[in-house]
Structure 1
Amino acid sequence: MLLNLFFLFSSPMSMLTSFIAVIRTVSVVTGLIIIVDCVALMLVGKINFGTVLPFLIGVVFVAHGIWWHAIRRFITRQRGLSRIWYALWITFGLWLMSFGVFIGSLQQQIKLSQQPLPEVAAIIILGSGTVDGKPTPTLASRLDAAVPIIEAQPNAIVITSGGVGFGRSRSEANIMATYLSEAHSIAFDRIVQEGKSTSTEENLSLSQALLAAQGVSITEPITIVTSDFHTVRAASIARHQGYTQPMTVASMTPLSIRYNAWFREYFAFVSGWLLGEY
């Protein structure tokens, strides 16, 4: 009896059936986790590319897990559609591998950003949005992460970088400088404000003139403070622009939105590569 069961479950067909069952279960569970996470974020107003696309992927996962055999039968009846179906899954697999490489690089960059810093010539804090004249939680986290470095390196030039948003009267750089002064007692006149940029590329390119005016060359060690998910792209843009010793410092993204932010950053990184930012 036991021998018969062994041969039953060890047969190729049985193994394939068991494998498909596992894949279906993993698809449903993974899809539900993605859907719940995205819906929770969308309910608090975070309706963007980084929530809508994963939500749709989650729906596809759940649908394939529940109706796998029905979908498979339908696809096999349509010869042209079958080829497209397989091609899409192969493309998805390749994308998943590239996403894994990106996450690995990001984790490595975050670890590097946590190492003790040498003496630097300047500290550039990249903007990340304001609400009602105050930094968003993500931007406040960046500013808070910059404070220990500012205090430990009194000779470093401090630059807050961020322009004037649509319908706003104050630049993000000014709001950032005010926050550092009021919340952390950093001398306001020590902070140089770059208040025209609207992107990471402009943050770093427009800061170059301010650094030069302060007698700092972009070949000197310069710290760039940004969010953990943004470190790879910021460092890549900086090196492309001629910063020869950029060192990123990462502020940690809250766990509730961390992986969603990493997902969105992957596409932002690919977009930057296609636009020639690095």
Structure 2
Amino acid sequence: MRKNKSFLRLLSIFIGLGLVYVTFLQVKISQYCNLKSPRNADYLIVLGARVNGVEPSLVLASRINAAAKYLKENKKTVVIASGGMGPGEDISEAEAIKKELVKQGINESRILLEDHSTNTYENIKFSKKLISPKSKSIVVVTSTFHLYRAISLAHYQGLSVDGLPAKTPWLAVFKSYSREYLAITKFYLERYLLGFS
């Protein structure tokens, strides 16, 4: 009987700590959901997300739409479409971004491709190589759930960026946020405990 009570007590503590941690993560994510982007940025980096064959997923389409709106309002900004090709994708995420931006009236001459990255860290690392050292303003476009980690990774790599949040489609909310909690935890572990480089 005592063993059962001790187990339940430990389980309750564990669940309580888990809820506190998830709440902490959600607060951090929420702080980045309504960021205002500076006008006339030198570069706009659109972070990739899943492509279904050749069609952008709902999450990626939302990012593309946010980027297209910004680019139409800021004519001199150059955009970097970032993302490689993963399983089930017939074209790279970067190519899908470019294709959809062109459909929405963005001139190809304004679009640079970064099509080798496989995760957010590489999105930033490889996109950084395409940015002029003279650049003064860089904006990262990604989903609301992803912006906190994306900006944190950029700053960690010495790249000063602002954020442009793209709405997270309702159908993708549960899956996206659940995965993001794990991804942020992995980032914390690598950065603070394992000497992330």
Q: TM-score, normalised by structure 1?
A: 0.65
Q: Does 1:92 align with 2:15?
A: yes
Structure 1 residue 255 displacement after superposition: 2.5
Q: 1:170 to 1:257 in 2, by over 3 A?
A: closer
Structure 1 residue 260 displacement after superposition: 4.2
Which structure has the highest helix share of the two?
1
The AA in structure 1 aligned to 2:139 is: T
Structure 1 residue 268 displacement after superposition: 1.3
Structure 1 residue 167 displacement after superposition: 6.2
The AA in structure 2 aligned to 1:93 is: G
TM alignment of 1:113-262, pairs within 5 A: 113=35, 115-166=36-87, 168=89, 170-182=91-103, 184-212=104-132, 215-217=133-135, 220-244=136-160, 246-262=161-177
Residue by residue over 1:30-81, the C-alpha shift from the partner in whole angstroms, topping out at 9 and shown as x without a partner, is xxxxxxxxxxxxxxxxxxxxxxxxxxxxxxxxxxxxxxxxxxxxxxx2x334
The AA in structure 2 aligned to 1:129 is: R
| Structure 2 match to 1:110 | 33
Which structure has more relative contact order (CA 8 Å, sep 6+)? It is 2
Structure 1 residue 90 displacement after superposition: 0.5
Sequence identity percentage: 31
Is contact 1:159–1:191 with CA below 8 Å preserved after alignment? Answer: yes
Q: Which has the larger radius of gyration?
A: 1
Aligned length in residues: 193
- Structure 1: unaligned runs, 5 residues or longer: 1-76
The AA in structure 1 aligned to 2:65 is: D
Structure 1 residue 84 displacement after superposition: 2.6
Tell me how far apart the structure 2 counterparts of residues 228 and 216 of structure 1 sit (CA, whole Å).
29
Structure 1 residue 172 displacement after superposition: 1.5
| Structure 2 match to 1:22 | none
Report the aligned-residue RMSD: 1.9
- Structure 2: unaligned runs, 5 residues or longer: none
The AA in structure 2 aligned to 1:144 is: N
